[in-house]
């Protein structure tokens, strides 16, 4: 029997006997979910097999499957993937690049000045001139450079 709706029909001497044949404890007749058969063809079939539950398809196979759904209601395949968002442009690095160049240049200048100071220190140490050494340290270009880059 195809899938779908069906009626369970039984020929029984009473509604209580019909409920018992169906295996029901709830009064389906009182709830409006069962009724006495009035169709003569169905009644004759049930009376031919008293006490036996007969399953009858409600309508033919086409009625059970129903009409073809309208085009707008048809089941569709997987929804189309959304178009990928374009990647945002990379951030503007011009300020960062300029700052990195300034730091690099300051580091080169500092290294050169430190070499000059080391040479001066070596000369003062060779002469034994501690006052010249102190004066040189306070007036060194490296001290001004250190103030400019914030150290």
Surface-to-core class of residue 11, CB atoms within 10 Å of its CB (0-12 exposed, 13-18 middle, 19+ buried): buried
- Tell whether 35 is covered by a domain: yes
d(CA 14, CA 147): 109
The answer to whether residues 55 and 106 belong to one domain is no
Torsion of CA 108, 112, 113, 116, to 10 degrees: 170
The answer to whether residues 10 and 58 belong to one domain is yes
Please calculate the CA angle 96-100-104 and round it to the nearest 5 degrees.
Answer: 175
Average pLDDT, integer, range 35-57: 85
Structural domain for 10, as ranges: 6-65
d(CA 77, CA 87): 29
Question: Which ranges of the chain would DSSP assign to H, the alpha helix?
Answer: 15-22, 40-47, 61-65, 94-127, 130-138, 141-149
pLDDT for res 118: 86
- Tell whether 86 is covered by a domain: no
pLDDT for res 66: 62
pTM flag (> 0.75): no
- Tell whether 136 is covered by a domain: yes
The answer to whether residues 53 and 100 belong to one domain is no
Nearest to 66 by CA among 144, 4, 141: 4
The answer to whether residue 100 scores a pLDDT higher than 60 is yes
Q: β-strands 6-9, 54-57: how paired?
A: antiparallel
The answer to whether residue 106 scores a pLDDT higher than 90 is yes
Does 142 or 34 have the greater pLDDT score?
34
128: helix, coil or strand? coil
Q: What is the mean pLDDT of the chain?
A: 77
Structure confidence at residue 58 as a pLDDT band (50, 70, 90): confident
pLDDT tens per residue across span 108-128 = 999 999 998 888 878 877 777
- Tell whether 80 is covered by a domain: no
d(CA 123, CA 112): 17
The answer to whether residue 87 scores a pLDDT higher than 70 is yes
- Tell whether 117 is covered by a domain: yes
pLDDT tens per residue across span 10-36 = 888 888 988 888 888 888 888 888 888
pLDDT for res 104: 95
């Amino acid at each position: 029997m195809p899938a779908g709706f069906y009626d369970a029909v039984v020929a029984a001497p009473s509604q209580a006997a019909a409920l018992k044949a169906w295996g029901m404890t709830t009064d389906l007749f009182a709830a409006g979910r069962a009724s006495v058969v009035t169709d003569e063809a169905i009644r004759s079939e049930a009376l031919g097999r008293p006490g036996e539950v007969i399953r009858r398809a409600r309508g033919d196979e086409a009625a059970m499957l129903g009409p073809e759904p309208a085009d707008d209601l048809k089941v569709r395949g997987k929804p189309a993937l959304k178009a990928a968002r374009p990647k945002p442009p990379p951030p503007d690095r011009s300020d960062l690049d300029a700052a990195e160049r300034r730091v690099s240049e300051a580091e080169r200048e500092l290294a050169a000045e430190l070499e000059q100071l080391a040479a001066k220190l070596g000369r003062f140490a060779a002469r034994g001139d501690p006052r010249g050494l102190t004066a040189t340290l306070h007036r060194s270009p490296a001290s001004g450079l250190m103030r400019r880059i914030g150290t």
